[in-house]
Amino acid sequence: MSEIARFKLPLRYRGSEPSVWVEYIQLALDYKPLNLGQGFPDYPPPKYVTDALINVASDTTQHQYTRDFGHPRLVQALAKLYSKLIGREINPRTEILTTLGAYEALFSSITGHVDDGDEVIIIEPYFDCYEPMVKYAGGIPKYIALKPDPKNGKVESSSDFVLDKCEFESLFNSKTKAIILNTPNNPLGKVFTLEELTFIADLCKKYNVLCISDEVYEWMVYEPREHVRIATLPGMWERTITIGSAGKTFSATGWKLGWAYGPANLMFNLQMIHQSSVYTGCTPIQEAAARAFETELDRLGTDECYFVSITRELKPKRDFMAKILREAGMAPIVPEGGYFMLADWSALESQVDLSSEDDKRKDYRFTKWMIKNVGLQGIPPSAFYSGPHKHFGENFVRYCFIKQDENLQAAADILTKWKAGQI
């Protein structure tokens, strides 16, 4: 073996390098388009959230290591909140783990539960890190794509994408260890209904399968849809790990603070991974998040509660985005939750020189062409499908609409000019 070859990426990690985020963040830096690609607000978090961090910064007691499995004040606040939402007393010491973003919660859940040869069901389109995480753990991902189910011949809402029940059940067998559920879903914005979740839950119980439920967009759900936590369904608390994110909850993605909650026997496995890889999260961020949660706990469910007002803030942005994409000739899929929108751009194919890009996937070529020639950045959704299913994403682009109104208007102006042949 040559000296260099010795330092190649270990076999178990191959096939997952580098992610769509790495590539598209670089494109944003190189071409400086209007970036509606990556999912973060381009405006500040609520003032009481940043004030909490300012106050913590000047509190000299908050700058050393804190408790390994979660800062005491934060796990108390999370236990209080989720005990109410789940309808059972959550033990802050044994049933919650705080993590470095929801990413680490996913990593600890998957690595802590998936063994060599275990099968893990992933519903497509999925947040792209699920696949490599399952593979790193020695697991075998089994995929099922949500399929369009047109209403009156049209697919216009994320609710028009559904699970094929027979295909879904056929993925379950004695080797199935877990399913990864994401509701509201990124990138589609689908919010699974009680009926859909009951169907999934019944199969989890029938085949003794763990449910890892990624609910980072739990507060961004548009009426009339409601967020249902699968852990609240009969017999599901015992087999569900639910994941959340302060980055999403408080519109402060740079905080990279997440958590997982579930029964102590399931959480023990996560704690074991966490204690030897991360050990303890950032103290001041956890303290500030705890204070922010305490503020929200006092006004939970009221109009002022950020968990209520964030949807009020986002809905006009969502509707504006759908309108400008329609006017540009795309066919948006209006999301029921989250802050992303998929849009079918295939009607515009004749206006785009896809031959100028050499990527295998059409959506990569389209999004790169748009960045370089039109100055608008989206994300190619085939990144959210497994190899054999990538074609399901190719006619789409994903845009993020948690952006200032001026920037959404700037996107509208760009698209109008493009349509008029002025770009």
Ligand X SMILES: Cc1ncc(COP(=O)(O)O)c(C=O)c1O
Residues that bind ligand X (CB under 6 A): 39, 101-103, 127, 182, 186, 214, 216, 245, 247, 253, 256, 258
- Tell me how far, at minimum, the Cβ of 258 lies from ligand X, in Å: 4
Put residue 76 in one of left, alpha, beta given phi > 0 → left and psi -120 to 50 → alpha.
alpha
CA distance 390 to 215: 24
CB of 306 to ligand X, least distance (A): 17
Cβ distance to ligand X smaller for residue 366 or 384 = 384
Q: How many CA atoms lie within 13 A of 8 on its CB side?
A: 9
Nearest to 20 by CA among 148, 145, 179, 132: 132
Q: Which is nearer to ligand X, 187 or 332 (CB)?
A: 187
Query: Judging by beta carbons within 10 Å of its beta carbon (0-12, 13-18, 19+), is residue 32 exposed, middle or buried?
Result: exposed
Are 218 and 85 in contact, with CB atoms under 8 Å apart?
Answer: no
Smallest gap from residue 255 Cβ to ligand X (A): 8
Least distance to ligand X, CB of residue 245, Å: 3
| Secondary structure (3-state) at 395 | coil
CB 106 within 8 A of CB 245: no
Task: Tell me whether residue 160 or residue 218 sits nearer to ligand X (CB atom).
Answer: 218
Contact at 8 Å (CB) between 201 and 235? yes
231: left (phi over 0), alpha (psi -120 to 50) or beta: alpha
For ligand X, the closer CB: 256 or 361: 256
CA–CA separation, 294 vs 292, rounded Å?
5
Q: How far is CA 386 from the centre of its chain?
A: 16
Query: Which single residue brings its beta carbon nearest to ligand X?
Result: 101
* Alpha-carbon span 271 to 262, nearest angstrom: 12
Q: For the CB of residue 218, give the shortest distance to ligand X in the complex, in Å.
A: 11
The 8-class DSSP code of residue 43 comes to S
CB of 127 to ligand X, least distance (A): 4
Nearer to ligand X, 111 or 245 (CB): 245
Beta carbon of residue 260, minimum distance to ligand X (angstroms, whole number): 11
Nearer to ligand X (CB atom), residue 217 or residue 418:
217
Locate tokens 């369009």: which residue?
Answer: 148
CB of 216 to ligand X, least distance (A): 5
Question: For ligand X, which is the closer residue by CB, 184 or 375?
Answer: 184
* Between 52 and 216, CB nearer to ligand X: 216
Instruction: State the amino acid at position 8 in one-letter form.
Output: K
